Amino acid sequence: GATGATGQEAVRQALTKGYAVRALVRNEEAARQLFGERVQYAVGNVRDPAAVARAVRGATYLISALGSRSQRDPGNKPEYIDYGGVKNLVDAAQAAGVKHFALVSSMGVTREDHPLNKMFDNILIWKLKGEDALRASGVPYTIVRPSGLNDDPPGRAGLQVMQGDPPIQGHVSRADI
């Protein structure tokens, strides 16, 4: 998800903090327009376990900000991206000995009747399955479940941090995530 809105923010912040960044991207040319030469690119698709394994090999930390876009491409349904892609990343992280895996998920994943499931091919159900794969892997992890995302500058609103999946509404800046 490096070229998505949340992924771009994660890449920018990692670079600012001095981390070497490798991004798994489907379209290197488009990614280079965003990040230039500051990022190492691994070209492939998160649905391809071999491409994911090559991208993760040698990594110390992994951040996943994947998000399916099945409305634009039926091959990117939540089942294949929010679960399958995350599972491929988890398997690769486990094999590579990644020290910590950070997964951006979503509030509402424990509520099967959530309206987003009806609107977007059970997206929250598949995100929870991705979370479960990470939990079961033995790889140290952090799962973040933001509410609605926006592109506001960081620090404009207070953040509420809690465990679980409470039914809270609101918005949070990607920069704060």
Active-site residue list: 106
Give the DSSP H or E segment for 132. Answer: helix 123-137
d(CA 160, CA 177): 11
d(CA 146, CA 170): 9
C-alpha distances out from residue 37 to 18, 31, 40, Å: 14, 10, 7
d(CA 4, CA 64): 11
Side-chain-side CA neighbours of residue 149 (13 Å): 19
Radius of gyration (Cα) for the chain, nearest Å?
Answer: 16
Tokens of 159: 């953040």
Beta strand ranges found along 109-152 (DSSP E): 141-144, 148-150
Give the DSSP H or E segment for 135. Answer: helix 123-137
